[in-house]
Amino acid sequence: MEKKSKPPFYVTTPIYYVNDVPHIGHAYTTIIADALARFMKMDGREVFFLTGTDEHGQKVEKAAAEHGVDPRTWADRVVVRFFDLWKALDCEPDFFIRTTMELHEKGVQKMFRLLLDKGDIYKGEYKGWYCVSDENFLTDDVPASADGTKTCPDCGRKAQVVSEETYFFRLSAFQQRLLDHYRDHPRFVRPQSRMNEVASFVRGGLKDLSITRTTVKWGVPVPGDPAHTIYVWYDALHNYVTGIGYDRDPALFEKFWPATVHLIGKDILRFHAVFWPAFLLAAGLPLPECVFGHGWWLKDEAKMSKSKGNVLDPYVLLRAMGPDPLRYFLLREVPIGLDGNFSHEGFIHRVNSDLANDLGNLVSRALTMVRNYFQGTIPPPAPEEPDDAEIRKTFGEMKDRAVAHYESYALNKALEEIWSFITAVNKYLADKAPWKLAKDPALRPRLARVLHQAVAAIRGTAALIAPVMPGSAQKMWEFTGEPGRVRDVRFDTLRFEDLPAGRPMKEPEQLFPRVNLKEFLAEDAGTAKEKTMNEIPSPPERPAAPAVSEAPLITYDEFAKLDLRVAHVLEAVKVEGAKKLLKLKIDLGTEQRQIVAGVAESYAPEQLVGKKFIIIANLQPAVIRGVESQGMLLAAAAGGKAMIPFFEPDVPAGTKVK
C-alpha cells in the first residue's frame, strides 16, 4: 500500500501587542506553538509557525508620544523585547510578522477592497459606548450602571459615548453560514466547552461591526478613503494570511492556508471563532481547521495582573535554569485547554522530581556505568531476556501513544507517557543492578545487555522529548554518540533497537541540577529587582528586525534612502545611570552631532575617540535616557556585545557609504 503523505501543518499564535512587556502568558502560547511545530516536523510534516506583533492603534500612538518619538520608532524599539524572549525560550518561528510591515498593510487593504466591492463592507454611522483604553466599542449586552454610564467589562474603566462615520463589516449576514460551519466542523473550536460558548453567542444574533476609525491615525488607511483608519484588531487578524503569503506568494499561501490551528488565549475567542471566519467567508477563503483557546496561568491561585504586582517575569526562571525546565513545566503541568496555577514550589518540585531525579539520574547513572565498565563505548546487546524484551516493547507502545497525544495537542499526556517509561527504565536498572553484575566476570554479557538497553532508552527518550525540551534532548542525543541533530529524527522510523554497539559515547555532563527552593526564591527576589523586562532597550545596538532569512526583500530605492556616512569621533562619555550607553560627539565633515550608542559594555569611551565608523545620518532623532541622539552607528551585535566596524584613519569624515 502506498504511504499517504501527511498534510502541511500551519500553527499561529496571536500577534502580541508590541507595547506589552512580555510575560509568562506570551511565553506560554509561543512555547505551545513551538513545541507543536517541532513535533510536526519530526512527525514528517511540512510546518510553518507564525508569530508576531500587533503594532498599530491608539495605545502605541500614545506611548510613542509620551517618549517623544514617532510610533514607528517606538515600535522598533520595543519589539526587540519579543525577539529576545523567543530566543531565550528557544522558540523558532518561521516568520515573525509585524503589522507595520508593508506586506501586511498591502494584504489588509487588498482584502478590505475586495469586501467593499462585494458589499460586505459598507459606510455608515456608528454611535455607541466606547472604551478608549481597549479601543473597542462595548457590546450591547454590557449593562448600564445606576447613573446610566457603562463600564468596560475587560479593563473596568469608564466607557464614553462615541459617534462617528465608519465602515461596517456586514457580520449580520453571516450568522447562518457560521452556524452551518460549526455544525459541520464540531472541532472547529477547541476545547468543546468553548465551541458551545461560541455557537450560542452566534445563535443569539450578530450585529454588523464597525471596523474603521477617523480619530486614530496610526494604522492601515482605508484604501481610497484615507481619512479612515482600519481598526487595529481588524487589521491584526489578517496577519494569519498576510504572514503566509496572501496576495504576495501564491505558492506559499496555497501550501499552508488554511491554518491547521490558531492558538489563542480564551479572552480573544470571539475575534477568532466568529469575526475572523466571517471575514474569510466574505473573502471566499477557506476557514482554519481549528481555533484552540488555551487557559491562563494563575500565580499562586490568583490571576496575574499588573495592578496586583504578581506578573511573572519569565526571565527570572530563564536566567536560573535555561529554557527547558520552564517549557517542560508549562506543558506538563496542565492540559492546554485549562487554567494552570504557577507557584515556585510547584515549579521547583517538578524540576527536582521529574527532571533532576527521574530523567537526570537515569542519564548520569547509565552513562557513568558505560564509561566505567566499557570505556565509554556502547556495549553489545547480548541475548535478550524477557525483562529486556519488556522494556523494548514498552518503548514501542509508549512511542505510539505519545505520538498520538502530541498529534492531538495533548502535550501533557505525551509527557506523562514518556515519564512513565522513564520510571519503568529506572525500575529495570534498579532490579538488574548492573553494579552487582559488574563484580562477576561471568556475567559480563548480561551487564552489556542491561546497559545497552539503558542507552537505547535514553536515545529514544531524547527524540521523544525533543519537541518540548530541544536543548536537553540534543545533549542526550549526543551523549549516546549520535552525530546529527535529534530534531532530524522522524518518529515513524525511530526504533529502540537501532542503537549500534561499539560506538563511542560522549562524556556526560549534568543535565538538570537540583534546585534548592529557599536559595532559588532568595535569588529570584534579588534578580527580580533588576527589572530587565521593563527596560526599553536603546535602539543603536539591537537590530529591530527579523532574522536575516526572515527579513522581507527591499528594493535598491529603499536602500538608497539611507544616508550612510563616515563619522569621526571627537568626544565620548558615559551616559549617567545607563551602563550600556555612550554619548558620542562626532564630526561629519560639514557638521558636528551628538549620538547615543549602546556600546559601553564593549568599548571604553577613550577607545572610541579618534575612531571612524558608519552612521545612519538621516535617522529621525530620538531621545534615549534623556539624551538626544542624532543618528545611529552600525555595529554587529553578538551575545550582547557590540562590535563596530572601523574605517582606516585616512577616510575623510562625512564620506558617503553606499
Q: Which residues bind Zn ion (CB under 5 A)?
A: 131, 133-134, 152, 154-155
One-letter amino acid for residue 136 of the chain:
N
Q: Nearest approach, Cβ of 233 to Zn ion (angstroms)?
A: 13
Which residues, 6+ apart, have CB-to-CB distance to 15 below 8 Å? 51, 52, 53, 54, 97, 99, 236, 239
Shortest spacing between CB 510 and Zn ion, in angstroms: 48
Residue 160 Cβ vs Zn ion, minimum distance, rounded to whole Å: 11
DSSP one-letter string for 399-428: HHHHHHHHHTT-HHHHHHHHHHHHHHHHHH
CB 511 within 8 A of CB 472: yes
Q: What does 362-380 look like in DSSP terms, one character per residue?
A: HHHHHHHHHHHHHTTBPPP
Q: Measured from the CB of residue 208, what is the shortest distance to Zn ion in angstroms?
A: 21
Q: Which residue, 131 or 216, is less far from Zn ion as judged by CB? A: 131
Residue with smaller CB distance to Zn ion, 236 or 414: 236
Rounded distance, CA 420 to CA 423, Å?
Answer: 5
Q: Are 36 and 261 in contact (CB under 8 A)?
A: yes
Q: Which is nearer to Zn ion, 91 or 152 (CB)?
A: 152
- Terminal alpha carbon distance of the chain: 60
* In 151-234, beta strands by DSSP E: 160-169, 189-190, 209-210, 212-213, 221-222, 225-230
How big is the chain, counted in residues? 658
**What is the smallest separation between the CB atom of 65 and Zn ion, expressed in angstroms?**
20
Closer by beta carbon to Zn ion, 51 or else 58 = 58
Q: Which three cell numbers stand for residue 416?
A: 506523562
Please, which residue, 155 or 433, has the CB nearer to Zn ion?
Answer: 155
**Please, are residues 605 and 612 in contact by the beta-carbon 8 Å criterion?**
no
The Cα 263–Cα 336 span in angstroms is: 10
CA distances from 423 to 353, 358, 404 (A): 11, 7, 20
Judge whether 261 and 290 are in contact, CB under 8 Å. Answer: yes
For the bound state, the minimum distance from the C-beta of residue 58 to Zn ion, rounded and expressed in Å, comes to 12
* The C-alpha cell that represents 19 in the structure block: 507595547
Give 159 or 269: the residue with its C-beta nearer to Zn ion: 159
Closer CB to Zn ion, 261 or 269, in the complex: 269
DSSP 486: G
Report the alpha-carbon distance of residue 470 to residue 461 in Å, rounded: 12
In the bound complex, what is the minimum distance in angstroms from residue 134's beta carbon to Zn ion?
4
Name the nearest CA neighbour of 497 among 391, 374, 370. Answer: 391
| Residue (132 or 298) nearer to Zn ion, CB | 132
Task: Say whether 601 sits in a helix, a strand or coil.
Answer: coil
Give the nearest distance from C-beta 166 to Zn ion in angstroms: 19
Tell me the closest approach of the beta carbon of residue 568 to Zn ion, in angstroms.
52
Q: Which is nearer to Zn ion, 58 or 630 (CB)?
A: 58
**Nearer to Zn ion among residue 49 and residue 231 (C-beta):** 231
Residue 228 Cβ vs Zn ion, minimum distance, rounded to whole Å: 22
User: In the bound complex, which residue of the shown chain has the CB atom lying closest to Zn ion?
Assistant: 152
Grid cell in block for residue 634 = 552600525
